[in-house]
Structure 1
């Protein structure tokens, strides 16, 4: 977020098709899926069923205030935990390598996306019917904190405690900095999301290191920002995101894709 996003119905249809077919829509597959036109209603997943499948996957519960929460025992949380276990083992090995000669004098770092990588947007998405708008998103962030994605706060805190610098790169706009800092800190991220470690998209006065300026695609913005971080003397040993556009473009030794069937960001 903010999202030059597919419509909520199109995103849900893609998500359902991915679940049904076991296919990840990315690269050529994504282009083909986006440009295809159904020839029959039978080729289009039923939206009510798609929402029900998403709720079941997240282990939907409703708390006393009517907020939707994902379950720590749900399939989403279990899938995320498996990815995090592999990532933590990799980072532990990497820390050892940097202590020797593997880092070539550079400081190890990880980069995390925010929405649905660090913070879970599940309740917001249900509240707005998977129909993101800047206004509804800002209103939500002004009054509520999003919970940490299961285990990602633990992973980030472990990394920070073991000498790995934590950075965030998000598509959220610069105007949402205060809300983002408050939320990350409130739900347990111990690394400081200050201006040196939290990068938000600034289309009004884009940084000089982004040659594409205010017209950057998500991939250009995120990979260009990672390149900038590495130019400061860091080696990005791990890059975490829920969208392939968070991970494409290089400037990271290894990438970890977190699941997100709720929306697709090119």
Structure 2
């Protein structure tokens, strides 16, 4: 019964390794399980700090006549929709306040429906965001999320903005480019939409 003993040892070692992994990482590996809000915010913090540092450097280098802007996703990027609906992600809000105070527009791109324009604008403003632009999924049949977000960025460029930063939590927030630098918050393998 050497095989049985090896199997038992292997299972014991695997269980020991699993217990050594922090709880939030264990939760992220299980379908349907997400980390706590405080763990999520801890994972967001370094991305937001990197965004803030980048904006400080990039906006200081602005070119005369340039209209710099940051483009942000809304759900679980700007607003803590999953954990605390309507409340801002404070670290991201802080970066956008800095950006706006230093001459950058704060623009949003979301897959929310066009019929939610007014309520979404109000939700963002109530959370403390400046809303210089809001682009949503068009009425009727629309392309997928990536195409809508790309279309929003192209629309903002056509309005003369230089999109210095793009902030989101899903790969669809970044596909197709049309921004200088992207900042991706965690989505835990798509579990946090």
The two structures have a TM-score, normalised by structure 1, of: 0.58
SS of alignment partner, residue 90 of structure 2:
coil
Contact map agreement 1:118 1:152 (CA 8 A) in 2? yes
Taking the aligned partners of 2:127 and 2:94, their CA distance within structure 1 comes to 11
Instruction: State the Cα deviation string for residues 80-121 of structure 1 (Å, max 9, x = none).
Output: 1111111111111111111xxxx4743111100110111112
Taking the aligned partners of 2:176 and 2:191, their CA distance within structure 1 comes to 21
CA shift for structure 1 position 244: 0.7
Instruction: State the Cα deviation string for residues 172-231 of structure 1 (Å, max 9, x = none).
Output: 001112221221111211x135xxx01111124xxxxxxxxx432211111122112112
Which of 90, 93, 98 matches 2:54?
90
The two structures have a TM-score, normalised by structure 2, of: 0.78
Q: Counterparts of 1:2-151 in structure 2 under 5 Å?
A: 19-20=28-29, 45=30, 50-51=32-33, 54=34, 57-58=35-36, 70=37, 74-98=38-62, 103=63, 105-123=65-83, 146-151=86-91
| Gap change, CA 1:164 and 1:215, over 3 Å in 2 | same
| Gap change, CA 1:18 and 1:75, over 3 Å in 2 | closer
- Greater Rg over alpha carbons, structure: 2
Match of 2:183 in 1: 256
Match of 1:156 in 2: 96
| Gap change, CA 1:152 and 1:264, over 3 Å in 2 | closer
Post-superposition, which runs of at least 4 consecutive aligned residues in structure 1 deviate over 6 A? none
| Gap change, CA 1:18 and 1:252, over 3 Å in 2 | farther
Match of 1:192 in 2: 131
Contact map agreement 2:49 2:91 (CA 8 A) in 1? no
Where structure 2 has 5 or more consecutive residues not aligned to the other structure, the ranges are: 1-24
Taking the aligned partners of 1:225 and 1:160, their CA distance within structure 2 comes to 19
CA shift for structure 1 position 232: 1.6
Q: Counterparts of 1:206-221 in structure 2 under 5 Å?
A: 214-221=141-148
Taking the aligned partners of 1:225 and 1:182, their CA distance within structure 2 comes to 19
Give the number of equivalent residue pairs: 169
